[in-house]
Structure 1
Amino acid sequence: MRRLRWRAGVLAALLGSALAGTGLAMPPAAGATAGRAAVASVVSDTRWVATGLGYRVLDVPSSRGTARVHLLTVDLREGRVSVGLLYPGVVAGRAPLSALADGAGAVAGVNGDFFNLSEAQHPGVPATGAPVGPAVAEGRALKAAVPRGQRFGPALPPGTNTRMVLGVDGDGRARLGELALSGEVRTSEGRIGLGGLNQYALPVGSVGLFTRDWGSVSRLRATCGTDTDRGAPCSTETYEVRVRGGRVVGVADAPGAGAIAAGTQVLVGREAGARWLRGLAVGDQVWVGHRLVPVGGEPDVSFRFAVGGYPVLREGRPLTGMDAVTSAVRSAAGVADGGRRLLLLALDGGQEFRSGLTVVEVAALLRDLGASDGVNLDGGGSSTLVARMDGADAVRVLNRPSGGAERPVPNGIGVFVRP
């Protein structure tokens, strides 16, 4: 094992020799960041999972112990390499990351967004397993973001929100962005804006749309909590409308459950949204439209893949207001080389490395690995990194999950290599 001192916090010396001549060499990073470890160890040199996809292991000490980092470096300039969303075919569903990767034909991947894991505050209401932020698969919007107060995970940095995503645009470049829901319900009597798309939590007073992408889990959770308090009681004023072929085909006083047929749309309202929906009757004509639109930045950008993420690094600078105290096993993703290189990492959850890193240290690590932008993904028992190694036909878990086995997750970032 070689030990190298970080020069002004840069891991270029650490990774440069192994990546030289591959097109993956790291650029210098910016100056030091508070809370970062002073020494890093290379545990294993780069092993090539496939063309344009390298894997290596690093040890990063902190004041609480040593964190072991499992790192995938994805070269998006390689024409055969692409990145996409791993998910179990529905928004409200979970599966082990290895199963998601093998099922989709991915050669590697890391777990994705935080999600609705439990509902102890709402007895009798089933947890949905649905993720917090927006999700886009193969250019198709699967879901939008829940209100800020309804999210799971660390407190968001100032100036950020649940609509933040990591994704790949139509030019094949990785980037951070923000995706907002734009949609409405129209009838001959009026219109109302959509407040949600396949979400486990709807804004107070809104109408949300559920499609076959949601799955069969009960939609009741969408009417529980408030925009600022996830644990607030469920709404007592709800209504559900089923639409098929542009007409209302059914109504109910409470959100239902069960798979939604292709071509059927389910509208769920709470408070003012419920009162508006009660004005509809079976046979009424209804038009429902929706899309996810970029906010700020470059409004003409279209994401062919996107997953929700907690932003920690923008334009080479860690965000302010992040937790520099709480340490945990974490997963993260970073964008480097103008979006032509993607870094995917998961910390090891083995007992000797379980002290982990803070989100401030994760931001510094991503920057020192060459990233200009980055997100913290779901961590703890969810942190999982998989890849096909040594010509295997299936992926295997490369880090040790902190729970002792893979935790089923709602989505992940998959790496694909065409033959």
Structure 2
Amino acid sequence: MKRILTAILLMFMAVILLPDTGLHANTGIVTETGGAGYLVTSRKETNQLDYGIKQYTDLGETIRSGNYYAQQVNVLEIPASAGVKIVSYANLNNHQWTRTSVRNFARQYEQENPGWRVIAGINGDFFDINGIGNFRYQTNNPVVTDGEYFKTNTSNYAIGFANDGSTNPIIAGKPTKTANMRLAVYDENGDIVAEFDIEKRNALPGANETAIYFGTYNTDKQYVPITIPAEGYQAAFYVENAEYALPNNIDDFYGRGVITSTEVTSVARGQFAILTNNADVAAALAVGKKIRAQYEFTGAFARATAVTGHNSHFLKNGEYLTSSLDGPHPRTMVGVRVDGTIIMTVVDGRQESKGMYGVHVNEMAAIMKHYNCTDAYNLDGGGSSTMIIRDGDDFRVMNSPSDGVERLDSNCLLIVTRDPEVNFEVAEVTENSITVNAELIEAYTHRIDTLMVRVGSVTKPVVDGTVTIDGLNSNTQYRVELLYRTASGTNYKISGLEETLNTLKRVPRFFGLELAEGSTEYTFTVSYYDPDKTGNLATATLVVNGEEYEFVNGTLTLTRNAVGKIYEVILRYTVDLGGDNIEEIVLLNPQFKSTTVLNVIIAKTEEAVADAFK
């Protein structure tokens, strides 16, 4: 009895002494690493987005130093096989870094890239939030978008995305870049046809060298134009109205635009100039030519099509990696699984009354380990932490930003897609089959092995541009969808290529016209089977001796005095199989079995003749 009382007393004391810092764990499995733990208590919401992208919001708790902290964790899963790409994006219009909300980044991206659609996104790198730099609001680290190296200097670390469908989609660390800037020359189709080194920046080119001139910003945040020497070069090419002219630093410039002049004395904001003593460069350039000047990454980061920055690699090989990050704060994180699936996570914080405490770095590691990541990296957090998903024609914020509203950031990561271009048509519809023709024109971001068509619960591959789904029910509505299969066997539905239609109705079976003769009347009864109500036999038209009458519920009674002797009967009715398949049937003297058979023979003969002369 004493032992039992002691046990009860200890349990009571444990309950009294347990810190009241949030919801206490009572369900779920705890994932632990680095002295912290994480468990999910419930799933608040799940959203299945296009091409296998999944978003969900979990409610749970982190455990640190024996205390439990309520958390809201927002997750995006991007499978390696998904037909999407990750884009590092910034608002660089008007030759400056402009702080923008993640939703407005997404809207702007779609405006600038017709045909592309944003599925989801998160905030990106740390940035000059207070605008203290000479060229204000830059990110701390690189911004690379589809081969455009808008910024290449790295203050902390970079994280790149290969977008190649591999199991190794992330590159992380400190990038190396080309010793010289690179000059690209475009043709009229926008393709790069020549590339050269730019050996000098804001200095005269030496023998066989090329230089670029651009202004920079001073400590008063004012642009300082640069004067061009009058001599010391063989040729000059001036871009007066550049698409982009970004003087991030004297050793980190990005410029793109069309050459407008070969005479230049000064370079103002939104401009840049090329001076050269290289005959090949001079021959390749001319007024009207579009050019680009940028540094480019070498080594591992050369395979990255999108690059942003991070400041901590806190999960390595599935376990916590020591980090100096403090907390608790809202956090934005990117991780990767063994199979190449990328996990983007936003943890809400600084809202304790809502059950959103935010996390320390070891809690971050426990969270990303819970979602099966092997490695994970910390992006900008705090009030910047934002996750959006597509919601119809616009976007919805999925997390609870700690500022109460979306913060204006300097860049973001967007998950984007462009639907494959496919010639798609429903070629034929019958009572029990649907035939579809489909031909792939352009795959874009999608790794398509085989086109597939799904009708109802049946999915079949397209072979030689066509596929027939048979065994369907007549007069039934079906949804016809186009999918594709990847080499790994995953099926993805192609958005926008679908159609809802009905299979045709069954042709009614006409058995005959029965004639009953009484002493004072004739009674006609039509005999048929029409389960899909395709024909109007119940109200068909009957022509007797040249006079028209109509059946009522399949029966017609005429007086002998009005008709006299019957010498000709014509039955006329319509069959509506659905769509434009409406046909009028005319039968002569169908009250006789012999003429009924004859009518069938005549009809088949007419069809054969028509087919022969197509």
| TM-score normalised according to structure 2 size | 0.45
Tell me the residue number matched to 2:78: 74
Alignment partners' CA distance in 2, 1:139 and 1:109: 20
Alpha-carbon spacing, 1:40–1:291, altered in 2? closer, same or farther (3 Å):
same
Q: Which structure has the higher relative contact order (CA within 8 Å, separation 6+)? A: 1
- CA pair 411-269 structure 1, distance change in 2 beyond 3 A: closer
User: Which residue is equivalent to 1:5?
Assistant: 28
1:166 aligned residue: 160
Instruction: Output aligned runs, 1:254-273, within 5 Å.
Output: 261-262=242-243, 269=250
Partner deviation per Cα, 1:269-313 (whole Å, 9 max, x = no partner)? 59xxxxxxxxxx979647896433245xx47x5111121122222
Q: How many residues align?
A: 321
CA contact (8 A) 2:84 2:415 kept: yes
The one-letter amino acid of 2:170's match is: R
Letter aligned with residue 164 of structure 1 = A
CA shift digits 1:24-66 (9 cap, x unpaired) = xxxxxxxx41242353322335331223111111223343721
Give the whole-Å Cα distance in 1 for the aligned partners of 2:119 and 2:144: 20
Q: Contact conserved, 1:327 with 1:357, CA < 8 A, in 2?
A: yes
Give the Cα–Cα distance (whole angstroms) in 1 for the partners of residues 41 and 91 of structure 2: 36
Asked if 1:373 corresponds to 2:375, the answer is yes
1:181/1:290 contact within 8 Å kept:
no
2:357 corresponds to: 355
Contact 1:46/1:56 (CA < 8 Å) preserved in 2?
A: yes
Change (3 A) 1:190 1:64: farther
Counterparts of 1:209 and 1:317 in 2: how far apart (Å)? 48
Matched, 1:293 2:297: yes
Distance 2:397 2:29 in 1: 29
Note the residue ranges of structure 2 that are not aligned, 5 or more in a row: 1-22, 111-116, 181-198, 252-264, 267-273, 279-291, 420-494, 496-614
Answering whether residue 172 of structure 2 is matched by residue 177 of structure 1, we say: yes
C-alpha distance in 2, partners of 1:338/1:141? Answer: 28
Answering whether residue 304 of structure 2 is matched by residue 303 of structure 1, we say yes
- 1-structure distance, mates of 2:249, 2:277: 14
Cα 1:190/1:308, change in 2 over 3 Å: farther
| d(CA) in 2 for partners of 1:245, 1:130 | 35
C-alpha spacing 1:242/1:315, structure 2 compared with 1 (3 Å)? farther
Name 2:127's counterpart in structure 1. Answer: 115
Given the alignment, which residue of 115, 127, 136 partners 1:128? 136
RMSD: 4.1
**Against the structure 1 CA distance between its residues 285 and 334, is the aligned structure 2 distance closer, same or farther, given a 3 Å change threshold?**
same
Q: Please give the alpha-carbon distance, in whole angstroms, between the structure 2 residues aligned to 1:209 and 1:364.
A: 49
What amino acid is aligned across from residue 172 of structure 2 in structure 1? G
User: 2:33 is matched with which residue?
Assistant: 33
CA–CA separation in structure 2 for the residues paired with 1:328 and 1:347: 8
Which whole-Å CA distance do the structure 2 matches of 1:263 and 1:111 have between them? 23
CA distance in 1, matches of 2:26, 2:387: 24
Partner of 2:396: 396
Q: Which residue of 1 aligns with 2:48?
A: 48
Gap change, CA 1:375 and 1:265, over 3 Å in 2: closer
Kept in 2: contact 1:81–1:415 (CA 8 A): yes
The percentage of counterpart residues that share the same residue type is 19
Structure 1: distance between partners of 2:237 and 2:247 = 10
5+ residue gaps, structure 1: 10-31, 149-161, 195-207, 212-217, 225-237, 251-258, 271-280
1:100, distance to aligned residue in structure 2 (A): 1.1
Q: Does 2:149 align with 1:141?
A: yes
Cα deviations by residue, 1:219-261 (Å, 9 ceiling, x for unpaired):
335x99xxxxxxxxxxxxx9956799964879xxxxxxxx972
